[in-house]
Chains A and B, each alone.
Chain A
Amino acid sequence: MRRRDALKLLAGGAAAVSLHPLLRAAGSQPDDFFIFIHAAGGWDVTLWSDPRNERRGITEPATTATLETGALRYWRNRADSFEPLATKGHVLGPAIGGLYDLADRLTIINGIAMNTVSHPDGIAYSCTGRHRTGGTLPESSIDVLVANERGLAQMMPGVSVRFPSAFVGTHLDRRAVPLRIADVGALTHSFERSPDYLDDADRTAITAVLSEEATALARSSTHPATYEQLANQQQSLAKLLTGDFTHAFSRKQLESAYPQFNYRGRAHGKQAVVGAFAVEAIRRNVVRCVSFALGQLDTHGANYRTHGTVLQELFDLVAAIVKLLDTTPHPTSPTARLSERTHILVVSEFCRTPQLNTNGGRDHYPNNSALVISPRFRGGRSFGSTDPDQLLPLDFGKFADGARPLAPPDVLATFLGAFGINPRRYMRDGEIVKALLA
């Protein structure tokens, strides 16, 4: 071997050892599960992650809308505003709901620069790390990327219930195409079959024929990927049609099995069953990622009454999921609890203005926060900051392109990096922020 080659080899090995400790450490646990939540509508961060003492009742024309605090359990009156909740590592707002009890496990990222106040663009930026180009999404969403890296062996790599999932490009495995449904009940409807005509054995035979046909067509095709995708999906379908998923994932069964969720909430109501579905699907080890959206946050009036209640319901649901995961054994590592291997990311498209409008509500604003609950992240800490008066993002630190605030691509890249996934494989922008990681 020439000296130059030997030096190259040595340098390459040293770089691999020094640059990728995260990748090596994370690669050792393939049975992680992921829950991605989109708080649809744009949340008011001053009510949970980045509280401000907006004075109530001073808007012109005079209104009582800002005096009503609805049913916020953690509202503590202070003169004409609320008292923020100080914990060891956070200062939280009154809409934090059930997550207050879990404050030491929350990683809150404030001061995320959104550069948009458009719902579709904010959704795209928060979930893919890229703004929309025209009407299209230029990159895949975070749930699809994680499903592509970690979920291909699962029966359902990613189930997306109203989440803005996007599968973009030809470099992803098509098994990671998200199973998009509008409601958990659609799973039951789709997998249910009449028992009066054909039976499970017939359907197994049909899916086997279709899988064989797709495989045969793939063999003779110049571009076999689409046929291979269908063959894989037919094989998964055979298992799903003959299992007891139809029963287990029915709304009735889920509500009965998981009374911890509030199925009569004013904001989300029956949609809360998606939390029960996430726990059940993970417990059964049939999914890798469950992503869902819960909305009703695009409120422009009576902020403390309406918006705060919606946020509280959302966080109660997240807290219920975490507490259930705490008591549920991991399906493939019985000595571990599910919460030790389940990672939750909650995002929204933007936040709302620091000033109340004349309806006592808040409008769209280009700042944002994100919430992570994961053993891979430093819990009990808030990162990032905003201008005290204007609620605009402040510089987080030095990035490759200089000092700037955090942005959604950084959050997503850090999330991928926490599990040993190189974000450069999928994302144009974003840097891994090691300060966020445990």
Chain B
Amino acid sequence: MNKELSAKDVVARLRDGMTIGIGGWGPRRKPMAIVRELLRSDLKDLTIVSYGGPEVGMLCAAGKVRKLIFGFVTLDAIPLEPYFRKAREAGELQVMELDEGMFEWGLRAAGMRMSFLPTRCGLGTDVLDRNPDLRTVRSPYDDGEVYVAMPALNLDVALIHVNESDRLGNTLVKGGDPLFDHLFARAAKECYVSTEVLHDCFGLVPEMARLNFFERYLVTGVVHAPYGAHPTYSGPDYGWDLEHLKRYCASATQEDGWQGYVDEFIACSEAEYLNKVGGAERLSKLPLPIF
């Protein structure tokens, strides 16, 4: 029952061409330690399914992404993600661009083992025109209304970051918003979770146990990764690292900027990475964002 793995172990289980869902939202609670390990690998031709933040830009810059299923890619405080833009504007990416709610519906359908769920979201827009595979469905009842039949977004793997976990795969999300990570976990054949704090086995008071949003039978492996969401926001533990995100964005304006970023921040161990970005002393004090 000990599901502990290293990030390297997780990436060793991934294969070229897989459909990988990444939890979090924009620059919030992204499983960046696992993403950095993925960037160090030879994996390619991935389909990435994400409410996109810097992980999408990085995976695009590294040439790992064949297809992106998304509603947006943003760093919030910095609205435009530079490497996503580069890849998109170069015409390099296959995309399935969806309304945020359609995206949620697709994950729900997958988690419920449905082929689709009906929704009005997407009607009257280019989301239907630009995704010719999307079909509509007519209500079998007297109203006869026509809906979008949002197909299941079935994931081979989901990658998620949480605040606390135990070795059995029980997890806690302590930030204010659990986002849609539980749906990624349900939509995936395998789910790997990185965690700030790793316990042997939880023994929680009820108020804490309520912060468990999906069952451990959904969790395939657990990676102990303190500050593993850096440079994204993992409340209440630490805020996003705006200084680092600015530096990352600036690299996109420089010649061979991505290679420079890789040389400095990716081509090293996670421990070295954390040292380079200021270590626990600095990261633990990153202020929580004010909205």
Bind each other: no
A: which residues have CB within 8 A of B?
none
B: which residues have CB within 8 A of A?
none
